[in-house]
Amino acid sequence: MKLNMLGVSVGNSRTRIGAFIDGKLQECATFRNEREDTLAEAVTHAYAPLRDHEDVAVLLASVNDPAAKSIEHQITSALGQQVRRVERDITVPIGRKLDPDSIPGEDRLLNAAAAFDVLKQACVVVDAGTAITVDFIDGAGTFHGGAIAAGAQLQLDTLNSRTDMLPQIELARPDEPIGHNTADAMKSGVYYGLRGMVRELVERYAETIGSFPLVVATGGDGNLLFRDYELVDRVIPNLTMMGLYTTLRVEIEQQSKADN
């Protein structure tokens, strides 16, 4: 099934937008949420190849509701298209085994749905962004939740803001594990600390379920942190976008079956 869709994923700090044409993701654009002046340009650019296609859906997922409301309004105004919100207008097709009142982030559910749609087996999804999540999906396609921690840049920013002597630095891969100056020591602590945390969690999950799951990484820092890490089977930068497409595709397939 080949579908046409504009996908929008609103994160805590950044928004990612991209077009699916005949089921294939075109080039994505990313912009900071506070830069609303870039939104109209990003939307127009991403939507341009979709204008010649019929039945284009616009799906928006968000973990930042104030930003999402503004972005949804601007998309509707710019395109004249109805925006469908994930978990409000359309449900992510993933089973859930969570506490009754738990409301997981839409990005976590979309990542889980996309990963299981491709792998069809138990897996762990590591999403490294403003926060870093390490979530478990079982072999039946059920999302169990997992762990949430501060992401790499958030850790570095906090070290700067909550201390007197530690500098403000940007995340980068350390040249070696032993930092010979303060900035390199901070980079090493955060970089290797996050990799070690993920390994510990994956091993604990494996002990719990009795087998070692595949591990998929995504998110803005996923490639930097995990691209050469033997623990991680693959890095998929656009996993959340793929989850948006999976969500739309499954809904249409279910509607088609119901109609027949």
Q: List residues with catalytic annotation.
A: 107
Q: How far apart are CA 27 and CA 190, in angstroms?
A: 30
Joined tokens for residue 258: 């119901």
Please list the helix, strand and coil fractions of the chain in percent, rounded to the nearest 5, in that order: 40, 25, 35
Torsion of CA 222, 226, 227, 230, to 10 degrees: -150
Distance CA 40, CA 36 (A): 8
Backbone angle region of 159, left / alpha / beta, with phi > 0 → left and psi within -120 to 50 → alpha: alpha
Taking the C-alpha atoms of residue 25 and residue 5, their distance in angstroms, rounded to an integer, is: 9
Q: Which residues pair with 7 in a beta bridge?
A: 18, 59
Matching residue, tokens 């939507």: 47
Q: Report how far apart, in Å, the C-alpha atoms of 30 and of each of 35, 185, 216, 249 are.
A: 11, 30, 21, 24
How many residues does the structure list for the chain?
260
Q: How many CA atoms lie within 13 A of 74 on its CB side?
A: 18
